[in-house]
A = this chain, B = another copy of it.
């Protein structure tokens, strides 16, 4: 398959595919001659994944690159592979909250993790985001929401359990891909479902 066919097969313009190749999101095709390459089924799959991440989940291209790199690095334990994808997924955020609120939030979040019995390494980027968010909520005067942290954690555990159940791929490669897709598109799924549920409740309650 040449690049033009790859383009019509996926609906992605040729210059964009070239761009993804340049950026290292997509592996180069197999060279059949010094300036001619051929692409396979795997390239179509990969492009579909890239588009879902970029267009649907709005993941920046640089992070998509990290994510696909983590998928291709299957010579490490699966947990490490997933951890790497997770790290690529959590963007660096500028600190927002006041230092005092952040310090208090850190204590609070760590207590929550202990209550839950979660195994979390202290450098997990999601941990920093969580602390920052709790601190920001306090700064914004939304303590009532923070009071439900435990309930949130409980519900979130439900998701994570579900997702582990949902993952049942025959090969290691497909397993890793499933986990990554589930993590990312799962979030889009949850967020749109939540918006829908909120609208419904809001309609019932305030209209």
Contact = CB atoms under 8 A, between A and B. Distances in A.
Q: DSSP class of A's interface residues: helix, strand, loop or mixed?
A: helix
Copies assembled: 2
Interface string A42-85: 00000011011001101000000000000000000111001100
Contacts of A38: none
16 contacts: A56-B96, A90-B192, A116-B200, A119-B199, A120-B199, A126-B191, A127-B196, A129-B188, A129-B191, A140-B185, A145-B186, A148-B162, A152-B159, A156-B197, A158-B158, A183-B198
CB-based closest 9 A-B pairs: A126-B195, A118-B200, A160-B197, A130-B192, A79-B207, A129-B192, A78-B206, A79-B206, A156-B193
Interface of A: 48-49, 51-52, 55-56, 58, 77-79, 82-83, 86, 89-91, 93-96, 113, 116, 118-121, 124, 126-127, 129-130, 132-134, 136-137, 139-140, 142, 144-145, 147-149, 151-153, 155-168, 178-179, 181-183, 185-207
